[in-house]
Amino acid sequence: MHTAEVIGPDVVPPLQVQTWRIQPSIRGTLFDIDYQYRRLPLESENEWISLDYTDARLFARAGDTALEFKATVKNFWTGEVATTFKSVTVERLPDIQYTNVFPNPANGVIAISLPENFPKEPRNITVYSATGDKVFKFSTTENTFTTIDLRNLSNGLYIIIISAAKQVLHSSVILQR
């Protein structure tokens, strides 16, 4: 029986793009191979989403607990069907707090207001595009107020994650010129 193997990480952090390769044990015109994935927890009973390529570039959302992959190989000659599953655990982020970003929408330069009780050690500020790509990262030790110049980014929605001492702040901003 011919199968397909899903190759990639078994545990992933949320909001970071990861790649999984789906490797069939055989290729040819007698075989139909279907690749699918879904996110857990499920919102409805059957949420499998088809993948068009053998390389799946996905990121786990903050609320995801796992990603599941399914590869189904069907032999047209014999009628045999083999299905392979892979479950990927999503690391749990610490409880997320929200912080203020202004102006929002912005034309490129934004200000971030941090809570007084947020750790003073170096703070890592990471900006992700709406597709999950990391587009900006830097560290700061400024107290409760910092600015970021995002003028080199195109218009759209961006997610901002600020972390220090296992505490995480979250915000989003819309760039609009």
CATH class entry, domain 96-175: mainly beta
pLDDT for 96 equals: 58
Residues pairing with 95 in the sheet: none
On the question of a common fold for 4-90 and 96-175, the answer reads yes
CA torsion 9→10→12→17, rounded to 10°? 40
- Say which CATH class 4-90 falls into: mainly beta
pLDDT at 136: 93
Predicted TM-score (pTM) of the model is 0.51
The domain spans of the chain are 4-90, 96-175
Please report, in tens digits, the pLDDT of each residue of the chain (177 residues total): 677 788 888 888 777 778 888 787 766 667 788 888 888 888 766 788 888 777 778 878 777 888 898 888 888 888 888 888 889 988 876 555 778 899 999 999 999 988 888 887 888 999 999 888 999 998 888 777 888 999 999 999 999 999 888 788 889 999 998
Residue 129 has what pLDDT? 92
Secondary structure of the chain in the HEC alphabet? CCCEEEECCCEECCCCCEEEEEEECCCCCCEEEEEEEEEECCCCCCCCEEECCCEEEECCCCCCCEEEEEEEEEECCCCCEEEEEEEEEECCCCCEEECEEECCCECCEEEEECCCCCCCCCEEEEEEECCCCEEEEEEECCCCEEEEECCCCCCEEEEEEEEECCEEEEEEEEECC
